[in-house]
Structure 1
Amino acid sequence: MAREQLGVLNALDIAKTQWYHFTAIVIAGMGFFTDAYDLFCISLVTKLLGRIYYTDYNNKKPGTLPPNVAAAVNGVALCGTLAGQLFFGWLGDKLGRKKVYGITLVLMVVCSVASGLSFGHNAQATIATLCFFRFWLGFGIGGDYPLSATIMSEYANKKTRGAFIAAVFAMQGFGILAGGIVALIVSSAFDHRFKAPPYSVQPEKSLVPQTDYIWRIILMFGAFPAALTYYWRMKMPETARYTALVAKNAKQAAADMSKVLHVDLEAEEEKVQKLAAEQSNSFGLFSKEFAKRHGLHLVGTTTTWFLLDIAFYSQNLFQKDIFTAINWIPKAEEMNAIHEVYRIARAQTLIALCSTVPGYWFTVLFIDRMGRFAIQLMGFFFMTVFMFALAIPYHHWTLKPNRIGFVIMYSLTFFFANFGPNATTFVVPAEIFPARLRSTCHGISAAAGKAGAIVGAFGFLYAAQSQDKTKTDAGYPPGIGVKNSLIALGCVNFFGMLFTLLVPESKGKSLEELTGENEENSEETQGAAASRTVPV
């Protein structure tokens, strides 16, 4: 039997869209803006790092990072992110969302600056220092995932909750776009100020000393938006759902939300104490009760996020290699190092502007109309279709007249990733788990996603590069490793469709209705949880 909802939580569920909603979106969203900038800006400068630290001028080719070094540079932040998601997700349920929220931001600011100041007496030492700081940068970024999602879900009303959480995540698109724009500005400024000839003309002069500043400036810029957000994060009150349902402080919850909603709310201490007594023996994360009620849900959120991030991070981190393979970006020998950064940034900015950013905001617009399940299934389906359409006739796309067609179809995979599972896998875990485990379960789901990203960053990069070299040496056309990687990613997306069937629909329901936290009878709660396993 459903008990009467706490007044403060009911007020949040039925509240009209107000200024505080937009304030929360901006404050939480700026964290994701910084997250995306910091995670993906490294892909803009990895070729530059190879030129600076691995060029042998006795050779006739510009230097490139060895596959294992490239994988480490691209993937170490993802390893830190995975650890941070698990740790800060758990800590957010133990100490509260707000107390932990500022720690993650400080870590991101410090490590962004430190990454740009990476030092060493030789190439290996400098790269090792960079990897060290990017691990801890990722650790801070990891905490932002469960905390931002949980805070936004607990602040939002039930009618537009999906759009608000998706809007926070959509700031990731602007972060990716900002990375490209910053790289364009910095590389363009240096290219005009310190002109260098193409590598093929004068190899020893194609890399001016000032080139080393470019990657450092690009990486350090990530500290700027994070620092701007810190004050406002500290001003946000703790969410009422944590204060009332986890901390059991009815008075504080009512006082905080009275200020936020500009209404008078009763403390309802008796209801909260009764709730506390009923939940004194509540099930934990590793209990059989949790497995019965939410086990399939957690399997669904973790597997779909894992599969999605294999494809999404592979595409984002290594699109420069794909564009080079189809000859959309000229070969390194035809450019100086600074201009190469400019060309890579221009290509990635175009993709972000035309497909990545619109995809996020299509989700914001339609998620509370179509529902989470439909958008996620649709996204995985079209990602599968476009990956196979690119991979099977791959060598057709490498011909010069067909390159624009390749870029358009490749852009559509980004569009349907973001108007699809990249957004919904972030939204759903923040809605379907109990308040006392919400941040933890979101952290687990997000960490599974980052495990997929690590597979993409380490596995697919190494496979594509080593396979390309082996096959080319054996007489195969170049790019065969990219083709096989695209086929594998298509299969990954297909399995994402299948596991989406385990993910419940949460559109239009209160958080307590979804989790069964306002149910008095445990048997009825289990029945409700079971019925929610099938999307509606």
Structure 2
Amino acid sequence: MAPQDSAVSSESHLGPQQDHHHHLRSIPGEIPIPHGPPGDHDDDDYPVRDASADERRIFGHVTRPDDSYTPDGIYWADLPWSRRVGFVSKVDRESAAQELKTIGSMMKEDPLSPLSWYFRHAVIPGAGLGLEGYVLFSIGNLEPLFAQVWPECWDKNVTCSQNWIASVTYLEIIGIMVGQVFVGIIGDWIGRRWGLIQDAIIMFFGLLMLTASWGLTMEGWVICYAWSLFFYMLTIAFIGLGVGGEYPITATSSLESAVTAGKLSTREDRLHRGRRVTTAFLMQGWGQFVNQVLLIVLLVIFNSGSGSPPYSASAAQFAFRLSFAFPAIGTAWLVYYRTWKMPHASKQLAQAKSKSHVTGYDVTALRYCFTHFGGRLTATAGTWFCNDVFFYGNKLFQGQFIKVISNNPKSLMTTWTWNLVNITVSLAGYYLASLLIDNKLYGRKMMQQIGFFMCFLMFVIPAFKYEYFTSPAGIHAFQAMYFLSSFFNQFGPNSVTFLVAGEVYPTPVRATAHGFSACLGKAGALLASVLYAYIDNQTKFYVVPWFGLVGMLLTWLFLPVTTGLDLKEQERRWSYIRQGKAHEYHGVAVNPAHLSLWERMRGVGKTYDPELDWKTKIEDMRADWEAVQAARGPKETEGDAAEGHGMPDDGEFSQEIHNYFQRSSPKNIRSGGVLSEKIPENESAASK
């Protein structure tokens, strides 16, 4: 559980790629390095300088980290399946052993330290989603309570307009949708930090409004309640739009948290990036759990110590108002934490904009995103849409089996207790997803496909034998399918869509693309809530399963495989795309194993060449180093050299690399030599 940011092994991992040999011209006795694309002059006139053992030692841990490359320099995704299983399993075992050792060391110093680590790295990053999940689930839980206490309004629609009762759900979903899009844009335009802060502020005031909602008439209260909910989900206040944006802003900040610490390209990011994001996302499940427990306790306390009907109006008032007041306290703390304790949340975005010389919203990046990643948008938005039809469709099971299995199906305690069991099953799915989402032999794409397929089965089976499964004879099988659909929804598309909707896009448009995908997802929820109001229960089971097959097909065709892919490489590929040189990028981000079927059909993976990439990666590192030197100035750079400064602040430039680039700068070429520099053939051996 405790990530290790220690330096990766400095052992040499450079070597010729067995499956990608190119003709190399090398000096006898030297180990050849792969050469890059030819320049304006004839390559035959300039032999390539070869990598010395010292150069291999200096750059080996950066260009060929041992958690992704074999000792002979082959990338894990290029290995035959039998060798891949052995290599991946070995890396995972070593990582797990190191984490267990670290946890043991932590517990020796402080037995509770693993809990405090989990709180800092999972609970706090996901606190916004936890609070949002709490409130969203509370809305659905409170409606049956209102219907029993005030049936003339919430059930029979005599004193209240049916449209206003329905608007509680519709305004909730629409508010989320608009908030997701606009906060995503704000996150890429103004910064992640502002998006995090304004979301927390809006949640806080929205909870105060929900707690205090009132009206002179019952319908007046419903209207006030609905608009308070809408404010919580969406509000326009100068440049802030509501809590629906918690999705894109939490996802992007969790993905980039390693960057904020200056350690994007660490072993921890490659091995456990998915776990870091999904452990924040699963706080949504804990928010639902806490809400259900709190509502049960409050109703029992204020309904004369009994959870059985009838329920008094005062008990309903206390239960619903306190259920919103308690999370308001936690949200106030969240405002404080995000304002004063997260000063570097926008660091990676600022660096990306600086490299592209962009100060506002990167419109060019957005255009390139549609041009180069249109298939990925189809995958992330389309699969999220299909998933939310299932996510809300899961409620179809509950009412049916409760009617058969319970002696008192009208009791809210019965409904809420089964809700609590279902949430617990969902949490098991969340945690198992976090455990396996980074496994290179299973990973994101496989997890999502299997999850969609299992949800399809759990809905299509009762569709064609509905009478049997809703009868006492088949009700236990029906109940099992209900829980399995909850489990595989979390251990599948619900967790994966949240992660990949930000992971497969570059930094300048990551929040925008995630917000757009989440918005389309909530359109699926809106479709479900409207559609289910007009069709009977068995018809619902005929309709819903096919969204699982569609989601599975979209995943297979359009979703790339990002498991085990270093985000640094995605950013590096993006820099080539941004410069109009996409065809000159040869790294692992275009490895066919990391691309979708759609991208491979379009020929994106044809530029993959690990030998050419080795050289260009060093040149890219040199360019970054030189840019920093130029920005710092000669005197400042000279003064910092002895202290190990003057390198790009991304955690991968050691003092040795800094010294190497300093020795091999243009003014020192003759004395120190430059890696991969081309030397005229008429130079003396000594100068070589």
Please, what TM-score do these two structures have when normalized by structure 2?
A: 0.62
Tell me the secondary structure at the aligned position of residue 364 of structure 2.
coil
1:163 corresponding residue in structure 2: 275
Q: Tell me how far apart the structure 1 counterparts of residues 288 and 160 of structure 2 sit (CA, whole Å).
A: 23
The correspondence of residues 454-473 of structure 1 with structure 2, limited to 5 A, is: 454-460=526-532, 462-463=533-534, 467=535
User: Is 1:134 aligned with 2:229?
Assistant: yes
- 1:143 aligned to 2:252? no
Alpha-carbon shift at residue 359 of structure 1 (Å): 0.4
> In angstroms, what is the RMSD of aligned CA positions?
3.7
Report the Cα distance in structure 2 between the residues aligned to 1:44 and 1:281, rounded to whole angstroms: 40
Identify if the C-alpha distance between structure 1 residues 345 and 529 changes in structure 2 by more than 3 Å, giving closer, same or farther: same
Measure the CA separation in 2 of the matches of 1:197 and 1:91: 47
Structure 1: which 5+ residue stretches go unaligned? Answer: 200-205, 249-274, 333-339, 468-480
Residues 328, 403 of structure 1: 8 Å contact kept: no
Cα deviation 1:65-96 (Å, max 9, x = unaligned) = 98645532233222111111111100011111
CA deviation map 1:273-305 (0-9, x unaligned)? xx4369999873553x43331010011100000
Which residue of 524, 530, 534 maps to 2:584?
524
Residue of structure 2 in register with 1:499 after alignment:
554
More displaced 10-residue stretch of structure 1: 277-286 or 368-377: 277-286
- Distance in structure 2 (CA, Å) of the matches to 1:219 and 1:213: 10
2:568 corresponds to 1:509: no
Structure 2 CA distance for partners of 1:290 and 1:456, relative to 1, 3 Å: same
Q: Which moved more, 1:296-305 or 1:516-525?
A: 516-525
For 1:241, the equivalent position in structure 2 comes to 348
State yes or no: 1:223 paired with 2:313.
no
- 1:152 is aligned, of 254, 266, 280, to 254
TM-aligned CA distance change 1:329 to 1:294, over 3 Å: farther
Q: Partners in 1 of 2:301 and 2:361 — Cα distance?
A: 63
Q: Give me the whole-angstrom Cα distance separating, in 1, the residues matched to 2:494 and 2:290.
A: 19
Size of the aligned set, in residue pairs, is 469
Is 1:123 equivalent to 2:218 in the alignment?
Answer: yes
Distance in 2, matches of 1:182 and 1:82, equals: 28
Distance 2:549 2:325 in 1: 38
Distance 1:282 1:215 in 2: 43
From the superposition, tell whether residues 221 and 408 of structure 1 become closer, same or farther in structure 2 (CA, over 3 Å): farther
- Paired residue type of 1:147: I
Matched letter for residue 374 of structure 2: G
Judged with a 3 Å threshold, the aligned counterparts in structure 2 of structure 1 residues 64 and 197 are, in CA distance, closer, same or farther, namely farther
- Code of the aligned partner of 1:118: S
d(CA) in 2 for partners of 1:411 and 1:85? 29
Alpha carbons 2:204, 2:331 under 8 Å: kept: yes
Distance in structure 2 (CA, Å) of the matches to 1:128 and 1:62: 14
Identity of aligned residues (%): 25
CA displacement 1:79-130 (0-9 Å, x = unmatched) = 1111111111000111110122111011112112211322112222211111
Q: Which moved more, 1:487-496 or 1:520-529?
A: 520-529
Flag the 1:68–1:329 CA change in 2: closer, same or farther, 3 A.
farther
Please state if 1:30 is matched with 2:100: no
> Secondary structure at the residue paired with 1:330?
coil
Larger radius of gyration between Structure 1 and Structure 2: 2
Give the distance between the partners of 2:471 and 2:569, measured in 1 at CA.
55
Larger RCO (CA under 8 A, 6+ residues apart): 1
SS of 1:496's equivalent in the other structure is: helix
1:445-489 Cα offsets, whole Å, 9 max, x none, are 1111111111122322x12xxx4xxxxxxxxxxxxx222212211
Residue of structure 1 aligned with 2:538, choices 483, 488, 491: 483
Would the alpha carbon gap of residues 343 and 79 (structure 1) be closer, same or farther in structure 2, given more than 3 Å must change?
same
Could you tell me whether the CA contact under 8 Å between 2:137 and 2:291 is conserved in 1? yes
CA–CA distance in structure 2, aligned partners of residues 197 and 295 of structure 1? 53
Which is worse superposed, 275-284 or 206-215? Answer: 275-284
Shift of 1:224: 3.2
Do the aligned partners of 1:46 and 1:65 also contact (CA within 8 Å) in 2?
no
Residue in structure 1 matched with residue 504 of structure 2 by the alignment: 432
Structure 1 residues 78 and 277 mapped into 2: Cα distance closer, same or farther (>3 Å)? closer
CA gap of 1:82–1:198, structure 2 versus 1, over 3 A, is closer
For 2:362 and 2:194, locate their aligned partners in 1 and report how far apart those are by CA, in whole Å: 24
| Displacement of 1:223 | 2.0
- Equivalences for residues 45-84 of structure 1 within 5 A: 45-55=142-152, 68-84=163-179
Match 1:186 to one of 295, 298, 305: 298
Name the aligned partner's letter for residue 534 of structure 1: S
Structure 2 unmatched ranges of 5 or more: 1-35, 38-58, 69-94, 103-115, 235-241, 259-268, 601-688
Choose 208-217 or 371-380, whichever is displaced more.
Answer: 208-217
How far residue 420 of structure 1 moved from its aligned partner, in angstroms, is 0.1
What TM-score do the two structures reach when normalised by structure 1?
A: 0.78
Q: Deviations over 1:228-257 (max 9, x none)?
A: 3233222112243213112x2xxxxxxxxx
1:517 to 1:403, Cα distance in 2 relative to 1, 3 A: same
The aligned counterpart of 1:40 is 137
Q: Structure 1 residues 30 and 279 mapped into 2: Cα distance closer, same or farther (>3 Å)?
A: closer
Measured after TM superposition, the shift of residue 31 of structure 1 is: 1.0
Quote the residue 1:330 is aligned against. 408
Contact 2:199 2:246 in 1 (8 A): yes
Alpha carbons of structure 1 residues 351 and 330: separation in structure 2 relative to 1, 3 Å: same
Amino acid in structure 2 at the alignment position of 1:91:
I
2:229 pairs with 1:172: no
- Match of residue 335 from structure 1: none
Equivalent residues of 1:390, 1:406 under 8 A apart? yes
Aligned match of 1:210 in 302, 315, 322?
Answer: 315
Counterpart among 524, 527, 538 of residue 452 in structure 1: 524
Structure 1 CA distance for aligned equivalents of residues 192 and 568 of structure 2: 18
Q: Deviations over 1:154-194 (max 9, x none)?
A: 1241221011111111111111111211111111112334x
